[in-house]
Structure 1
Amino acid sequence: MSAKDPAVFDRQYRAFLFDMDGTLLNSIAAAERVWAAWAQRHGLDVEAFLTTIHGARAIDTISRQALPGVDAQVEARGITEAEIADVEGVVAIPGAVAFLQSLPAHCWAVVTSAPKALALRRMHAAGLVPPAVMVTAEDVTNGKPDPACYLLGAQRLGVPMGECLVFEDAPVGIRAGEAAGADVVVVTAAHDEPMVTRHPTIASYDEVQAQCDAAGMLRLRPSTMA
């Protein structure tokens, strides 16, 4: 665990907001299989293109390519259908299941760039129980790095954004959390290469534990087991 910003371990929060892919579960292999096939069909440099897909909504990823004659909404639906069909190798980030189970149900939400059907499919495949509050691709007009998704997650929980802690893994998601005004923890379990940010990082949820006091306030603490 790296605590470049140890203040997150000294603060109380009303809620934790989690990105999904790369943060609660690892779906990189499945996502890259689907997107690589799409990129090949459209004559893109597959290796370069795959570096751009993580953390963003499918429709935003496709729209950025500005491919002539391509309907981004139609293509995004096709991508979602293919990803729902392929969850081979989708697994929970180490320690995530137990960490989420330790949180009061009303104190956390998932804020993902995935469509809701795909988010539910992947969470179930990874053995994660979906929370009562989820913000998915369909819920916002502008995806990450726009902060709208995190602001909506806090609103749905009835919690001020400044009292939320965001868990993220991708640069666009980290920027969304920052823009929303939240503290951020970066989860690096799915990273092949180090990511340098000003935020504390954890390689797995085994490194931290959540404490909830009688008033329902949460604290993130380094785990005594780490």
Structure 2
Amino acid sequence: MTEGVFPALTRQGLTEAVEQAIRRAILEGRLAAGERLVEARISEELGVSRAPVREALARLAQRGLVVSLANRGTFVVRLGPEDVGELFTLRVLLEGHAASCLASAGQLTELAYLEQLAESAQEAARVDNAEAAAERDLEFSAHLVGLAGSRRLLRIWQELSDQLRLALPGLGRLGSPAPAEGLRRVLDALRTRDPEAARRAMADHLARWRALWLRAVSEGG
């Protein structure tokens, strides 16, 4: 192999890699909510110095995934009912806007993948897998927001989604049916190109999910 194929890894690139490694561990549940994150242990496991780990944890704190407490350390965030309530208020605003924009644009050719995701969410709900249904619901929303065509809107939604995923395991422990049928009403409004109906359908759908997520964090806490 010719020398110089790969560029030297910069501090910024190293910090980004460490940040993504920790982020994945949190979102995949390998680092649990409330778990303490020890810089020395992380740096040893990843084979890097403590400086990029410290910088990565600071970035993750800005994204709302970890919290640093004076004289105690850094911990994976544990969501409470107030947190979930705020996140769903933002979801209603962002996803309602995205649904309205898509209905106004009338891009019916873009609905096929949304329909697949809605069916996957309903299938998970039919077998009482609320955690999987919630994952498919978030995928539906991510695609919907992406179709709105705003990179800033999508970036804000992705950070919100990451935070909400911290509470996903609690949904699986509830044993309650997931409200996946609301996505069909969102799709119906998109097909008829009715922006206000699309916004209302998304708000109604998220209101049902909000109640379930609130139960998950309340009973899990």
Q: TM-score range by the shorter chain?
A: under 0.3
Bigger proportion of residues as strand: 1
Larger radius of gyration: 2
Instruction: Using CA pairs under 8 Å that are at least 6 residues apart, name the structure with larger relative contact order, 1 or 2.
Output: 1
> TM-score scaled to structure 2, two decimals?
0.25
Bigger proportion of residues as helix: 2
